Structure 1
Amino acid sequence: MDSDTASHRKRALRAEIRERRQNLTATERAAATAGITRNLVDLTTDLSARSIACYLSTTIEPDTRPFLNWAHTQGLRVLLPISRDDGLLDWTTGDGETETEGLYGLPEAVGELLGPIAINDVDLIIVPAASVDATGMRMGWGRGYFDKTLGSMEKCPPVYAVLFDGELVDEVPRERHDQPVDGAVTPTRIAQFT
């Protein structure tokens, strides 16, 4: 598939997913949050992860905050991303509470900047996704931050995308820069692709 076709298909799929997510009821969202939190806790525990990289979810993404609260109470080291103008991610440990609006209006933690290489020391990376296919190919939201980060790592720990049920599909459009994930966490399951 040529790059223009893949890019166009991605835009259309992202719009469809955004609309579906915005139409979730409060009850559906609460149930999804409970399932995702339970599965993220199980995954982290099963991997004996002591240090994780995760993101602060937006209002239409699966809610990662209850999981992050659990991680803080367990004494895990949690790195949170800070978007940079050059397309890379800085990281901070933040305080688990204080947030600000980052680039593109996305929520970001407030804390000491640790630089892009801080992620090299984590045991588990949890990334956002619009969709993931049966081979583990991840389609993000189009800015490429996580693709650049994952593509630049020499020794990458397990990477799991978080999404709603129904966003695990047979195939997503892919471009050369896209990076696969090892698994996906939904409200009802933990899928592994490796």
Structure 2
Amino acid sequence: MDPDAEAALRYRAKAELRKRARAVRSSIPLDAILERSRRIQRALAELPALVAARRVALFYPIEGRNEVDLRELDPLLRARGARVAYPSIDPESRAMTFRFVEDPEAMEERGLGFREPDATDEEAAALDVIVVPALQIDARGHRIGYGAGYYDSTLPRFCPPAHAVGVVFDFQLVAEVPATPGDVPLGTIVTDARVLAAEPA
């Protein structure tokens, strides 16, 4: 098959998988989402890379989308002496970076559905671990996000040496995600049932 045609097919497949994955996740009751999120946070807290980390990027859950909720992990990391950063999108360039915040509850929603740091908060020049959201992940570490490409364009600036950890509920772990140009595989996958080291492609 022509490479361009194959890439187009993979993009269409990802779009369909994204649509289905959002529908499945939205059908899960909120109390189950929160309980599964707690299991993920407990696993993350014991992950060697995160135990050793002093600069960690988390993400704030998008309200109403049943994302993995990491809000209880934030104070635990701070109690260990780590600094915690969150994604920040430049309103003009649409480029994403991470900014360290003192109080995640003080962040504000800025038009993209999730709370972001203030533009005056310190930008992270380096990180030890970046925790990445997804709609689906396969064992190779390939993920399906919301399609904007923020993480795929940003992760290469930090990884390596930063370690990228994808978090999903166990039902979001799939056999294969169609790989497309620009995809950045994750190193570790954490679900509410298991922790996996991504398999090389």
TM-score (norm 1): 0.88
Preserved contact between residue 82 and residue 102 of structure 1 (Cα < 8 Å): no
Q: Which residue of 2 is the match for residue 180 of structure 1?
A: 185
Residues 1:87 and 2:91 aligned together: no
CA distance in 1, matches of 2:157, 2:49: 27
CA distance in 2, matches of 1:158, 1:152: 12
Q: Residues 51-90 of structure 1 correspond to what in structure 2 (within 5 A)?
A: 51-59=55-63, 60-84=66-90, 85-90=92-97
Q: Deviation string for 1:64-123 (max 9, x for gaps)?
A: 1111122223331111110124232132212222121124222213363434xx2x5221
Give the direction of change, closer, same or farther, for the CA distance of 1:45–1:175 in structure 2 (3 Å limit): closer
Residues 1:106 and 2:106 aligned together: no
* Aligned residue identity for 2:19: A
* Aligned residue identity for 2:104: G
Q: Secondary structure at the match of 1:81?
A: strand
Q: What is the count of residue pairs matched by the alignment? A: 191
Post-superposition offset of 1:162: 0.9
Give the direction of change, closer, same or farther, for the CA distance of 1:154–1:30 in structure 2 (3 Å limit): closer
Post-superposition offset of 1:15: 1.2
Q: Residues 35-184 of structure 1 correspond to what in structure 2 (within 5 A)?
A: 35-43=39-47, 47-59=51-63, 60-84=66-90, 85-94=92-101, 95-110=103-118, 112-115=120-123, 118=124, 120-153=125-158, 155-184=160-189
CA distance in 1, matches of 2:73, 2:105: 13
Q: Which residue of 1 is the match for residue 22 of structure 2?
A: 18
Post-superposition offset of 1:47: 4.5
Q: Which portions of structure 1, spanning 4 or more consecutive aligned residues, are displaced by more than 4 angstroms?
A: 44-47
Question: Which is worse superposed, 93-102 or 164-173?
Answer: 93-102
Give the direction of change, closer, same or farther, for the CA distance of 1:177–1:185 in structure 2 (3 Å limit): same
Q: Secondary structure at the match of 1:104?
A: coil
Preserved contact between residue 44 and residue 124 of structure 1 (Cα < 8 Å): no
* Aligned residue identity for 1:24: I
Give the share of equivalent positions with the same residue, in percent: 28
Q: Which runs of 5+ in 2 are unaligned?
A: none
CA distance in 2, matches of 1:91, 1:151: 13
CA RMSD across the alignment:
2.1
Q: Which runs of 5+ in 1 are unaligned?
A: none
* Aligned residue identity for 1:81: P
Give the direction of change, closer, same or farther, for the CA distance of 1:44–1:88 in structure 2 (3 Å limit): farther
CA distance in 1, matches of 2:17, 2:167: 17
